[in-house]
């Protein structure tokens, strides 16, 4: 028997309609490439996103066609989020930190018809436009007067003039099937060509509902939210959608991601909740510590994308009274899978025991199912000890990649995350490694994340990466590559001694390599593939 409830489809346009009607005066603040701080609100974003939709009609971009963005976090990008997807086109966010050749490959693979770019990225457009035969329009996110005039550019339209032409016109969002594609994002592709996750209106809305829950982002109309995590990578963890659903104020950092710019913006706009990867928060903490300044409004920060070092959780909580929510997810999961919020029973634990829980990546959101499998495909117990390959399923997990000419990545309906994890009886996962980074020593596995976390809890260590090096007897042994904090000293023996009592003796790294920097990928994560390449000539010390 069919239920007798209204079957309206879950569409992204309903979010901006809602935000306009109920939270029209909630502010949208953006630091711009123009150098100033721009003030808008949900009502204006609503109006201008409809202008975007009409302007796309005028260019005769059909439903389902891809409209790409190469842009920082800001109000114009937000208008494109709603104008493009709301009008049944597909928003394709491009990562400007990739190499120009990779960006051109991605634009070509997605067959983007329009590319909207920030003027900061003129050098990229110059380098790639000749290799993008499908692109019909290049739109610069600026006023007519600020149009870049470089002769190496193709014909460029000013975004402001383009949408101004639609001022005063009316527009009704089209209604269509909620399984229609809404946006796409290519994974960084550390191996092989990048692959695209193609999100739907339904998956995006369900993800937004779930992330708004109290034990997840727990955001409200009273919050002022700073997504430092980029809108060009997995939709800034869905915050542009969740904030419309909650009616929250949004504060966009634009290109200003250094500690000083982020701190000043937080203080200026009363930011209560922020989201980002550990490398960005490290820059913020490094800026604040020597000045002795504090946060006056920030209450919670969500940290994910790579493992959050204990020292960072500790610094936020003990020095600044800010709660850290450790989260895990991936492009293929829209991206959120788990968030670490404590249960009542954890509140009774000592602070040391509590920290052990906080270091975990947390428990699944409603909607995400998880399991871990052993080497022969057997399901492993959720006892917090057994670790294996982590598989997930759910309505915002991919079924297949866009234009994938190989088999679907799913195994019996489950998506293999490529991560190795434990799951405890309360459902908290702990990621021990990417499966390709696991260190196998004498038939046992050593967690590189654990080795890194210990090193990073040493006061002199700024960053640490642990990799396995071939060993004739043990197969592989761990070494830890370390960047020291400025003006600190540490010798190998001291750091190796620091591991004593914290992990089993055989897990302690064989060596410490001090370097000036660790290569980072396009999403701010340590690039261990590159690090291994750099250390090709390295051999373990003979004992």
Positions marked catalytic: 187, 332, 440, 445
Structure tokens belonging to residue 297:
């409004």
- 367 touches ligand ADP by CB under 6 A: no
CA–CA distance, 304 with 325 (Å, rounded to integer): 8
Binding string, residues 186-215; x marks residues near ligand ADP by CB under 6 A: -xx---------------------------
Taking the least distance from each CB to ligand ADP, the nearer of 30 and 306 is 306
Among 417, 432, 448, 457, binds ligand ADP (CB under 6 A): 417
Structure tokens belonging to residue 166:
């639609």
User: What phi-psi label fits residue 427: left (phi over 0), alpha (psi between -120 and 50 degrees) or beta?
Assistant: left
Among 38, 97, 434, 492, binds ligand ADP (CB under 6 A): 434
CA-nearest of 179, 133, 177, 184 to 154 is: 133
Binding string, residues 288-307; x marks residues near ligand ADP by CB under 6 A: ----------------xxxx
Q: Least separation, in Å, of the C-beta of 280 and ligand ADP? A: 14
Residues between 227 and 266 that touch ligand ADP (CB under 6 A): none
- 453 touches ligand ADP by CB under 6 A: no
Q: Least separation, in Å, of the C-beta of 14 and ligand ADP? A: 27
Among 431, 479, 481, 508, binds ligand ADP (CB under 6 A): 431
The owner of tokens 């959101």 is 365
Q: Least separation, in Å, of the C-beta of 277 and ligand ADP? A: 8
**At 418, which helix (H) or strand (E)?**
strand 415-423
Q: Is 515 exposed, middle or buried (0-12, 13-18, 19+ CB in 10 A)?
A: middle
Q: Least separation, in Å, of the C-beta of 361 and ligand ADP? A: 5
Taking the least distance from each CB to ligand ADP, the nearer of 330 and 364 is 330
Q: Least separation, in Å, of the C-beta of 102 and ligand ADP? A: 12
Q: Are 39 and 151 in contact (CB under 8 A)?
A: no
CA–CA distance, 394 with 337 (Å, rounded to integer): 9
Q: Are 356 and 341 in contact (CB under 8 A)?
A: no
Q: Least separation, in Å, of the C-beta of 409 and ligand ADP? A: 13
Structure tokens belonging to residue 439:
């260190």
Candidates 4-12, 56-64, 415-423, 511-519; binding stretch for ligand ADP (CB under 6 A): 415-423
| Cα dist from 58 to 81, 111, 165, whole Å | 18, 19, 10
Binding string, residues 347-366; x marks residues near ligand ADP by CB under 6 A: --------------x-----
Candidates 242-250, 324-332, 471-479, 499-507; binding stretch for ligand ADP (CB under 6 A): 324-332
Q: Are 33 and 119 in contact (CB under 8 A)?
A: yes
Q: Least separation, in Å, of the C-beta of 464 and ligand ADP? A: 14
Among 328, 387, 428, 499, binds ligand ADP (CB under 6 A): 328
Among 30, 331, 447, 457, binds ligand ADP (CB under 6 A): 331
CA–CA distance, 314 with 310 (Å, rounded to integer): 6
Structure tokens belonging to residue 170:
């009316």
CA–CA distance, 496 with 513 (Å, rounded to integer): 11
Buried b (16+ CB within 10 A) or exposed e, 58-81: eeebeeebbbbbbbbbbbbbbbbb
Site of interaction with ligand ADP (CB under 6 A): 187-188, 304-307, 326-328, 330-331, 335, 361, 417-419, 431, 434, 523, 525
């Amino acid at each position: 028997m069919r239920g007798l409830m209204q079957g309206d489809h879950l569409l992204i346009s309903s979010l901006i309609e809602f935000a306009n009607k109920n939270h029209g005066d909630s502010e949208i603040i953006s630091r711009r490439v123009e150098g100033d701080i721009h003030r808008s609100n949900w009502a204006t974003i609503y109006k201008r996103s409809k202008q975007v939709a009409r302007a796309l009609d005028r260019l005769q971009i059909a439903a389902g066609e891809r409209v790409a963005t190469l842009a920082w976090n800001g109000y114009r990008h937000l208008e494109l989020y709603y104008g493009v997807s709301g009008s049944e086109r597909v928003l394709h966010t491009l990562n400007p930190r990739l190499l120009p050749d990779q960006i051109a490959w991605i634009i070509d693979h997605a067959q983007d018809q329009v590319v909207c770019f920030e003027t900061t990225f003129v050098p990229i457009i110059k380098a790639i436009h000749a290799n993008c035969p499908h692109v019909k329009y290049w739109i610069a996110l600026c006023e007519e007067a600020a149009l870049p005039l470089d002769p190496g550019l193709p014909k460029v339209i000013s975004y402001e003039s383009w949408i101004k032409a639609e001022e005063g016109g009316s527009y009704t969002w089209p209604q269509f099937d909620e399984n229609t594609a809404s946006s796409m994002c290519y994974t960084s592709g550390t191996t092989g060509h990048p692959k695209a996750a193609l999100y739907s209106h339904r998956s995006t809305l369900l993800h937004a509902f779930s992330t708004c829950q109290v034990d997840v982002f727990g955001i409200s109309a009273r919050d002022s939210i700073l997504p430092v995590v980029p809108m060009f990578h997995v939709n800034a963890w869905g915050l542009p959608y969740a904030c419309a659903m909650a009616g929250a104020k949004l504060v966009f950092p634009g290109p200003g991601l250094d500690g000083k710019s982020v701190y000043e913006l937080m203080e200026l706009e009363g930011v209560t909740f922020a989201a980002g990867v550990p490398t960005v928060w490290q820059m913020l903490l490094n800026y604040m510590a020597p000045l002795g300044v504090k946060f006056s409004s920030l209450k919670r920060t969500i940290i994910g994308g790579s493992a959050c070092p204990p020292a960072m959780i500790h610094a936020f909580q003990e020095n600044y009274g800010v709660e850290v929510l450790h989260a895990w997810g991936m492009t293929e999961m829209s991206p959120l899978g788990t968030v670490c919020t404590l249960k009542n029973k954890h509140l009774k634990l000592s602070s040391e025991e509590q920290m052990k829980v906080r270091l975990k990546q947390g428990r699944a959101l409603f909607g995400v199912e998880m399991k871990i499998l052993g080497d022969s495909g057997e399901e492993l117990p959720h006892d917090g000890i057994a670790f294996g390959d982590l598989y997930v399923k759910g309505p915002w997990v991919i079924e297949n990649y866009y234009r994938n000419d190989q088999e679907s990545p799913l195994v019996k309906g489950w998506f293999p995350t490529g991560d190795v994890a434990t799951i405890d009886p309360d459902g908290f996962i702990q990621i021990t490694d990417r499966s390709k980074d696991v260190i196998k020593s004498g038939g046992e596995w050593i967690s590189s994340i654990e080795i890194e976390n210990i090193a990073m809890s040493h006061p002199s260590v700024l960053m640490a990466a642990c990799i396995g090096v071939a060993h004739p007897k043990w197969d592989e042994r761990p070494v830890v590559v370390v960047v020291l904090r400025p003006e600190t000293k540490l010798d190998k023996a001291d750091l190796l001694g620091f591991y004593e009592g914290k992990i089993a003796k055989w897990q302690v790294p064989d060596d410490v390599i001090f370097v000036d920097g660790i290569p980072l990928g396009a999403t701010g994560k340590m690039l261990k593939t590159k690090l291994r390449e750099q250390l090709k000539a390295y051999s373990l010390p003979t004992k």
